[in-house]
Amino acid sequence: MIAVPPAPPSPRTPPSSPRTRGPRPLLLTLCLLAACTPRVPTPPSGLHTGHQPSILPDPPPAAIVEWVPARPARDALWLDGHWEWTGTGYAWQGGRWEPPPAPGAYYAPATTVRRPNGQLFYFTGRWHLADGTPVAPKEGT
């Protein structure tokens, strides 16, 4: 085996450049990856079944940006905030942490659908059991 001496530094990259300072590029890469990784656990989502939508006169306003508070329990999942149709207008329903009602349950988020004829329908956000059966909403949600 023949020993090959290390190549001299490139004239364009001085020895004091960040590229030659050890683990900094790796640390920067890991920090960027961590910043791009979702860390808020959300429930699986699925279709709305078993309840009738509301007919809307107008679409909801744009969503409100919210800060997600600390997770209160290990089984809690984050449900995004949304505009709730009240029958006469919209009210903001803030995002919240909530445990699933049963193993295998999924959440069908609040959804507004526009039909080809222009009519708007609104489905309330609701938990469903694994078989699609809607779960009755809790008091105050």
Global model pTM greater than 0.75: no
**Residue 46 placed within a domain:** no
User: Tokens 């309840």 — which residue?
Assistant: 51
60 within domain boundaries: yes
Per residue in 69-124, pLDDT tens?
999 999 999 999 999 999 999 999 999 999 999 999 999 999 999 999 999 999 99
Q: How many CB atoms lie within 10 A of CB 48?
A: 20
* Residue 105 counted as domain residue: yes
**Total domain count, the chain:** 1
Residue 79, in any domain of the structure: yes
Domain assignment present for 9: no
DSSP string, 53-99: PEEESSPPPPPPP-PPPPPSSTT-EEE--EEEE-SSSEEEE--EEE-
Q: What is the pLDDT of residues 26-75, one digit of tens each?
A: 666 665 665 665 589 999 999 998 888 999 999 999 999 999 999 999 99
Q: Tell me the residue range of the domain where 110 lies.
A: 54-128
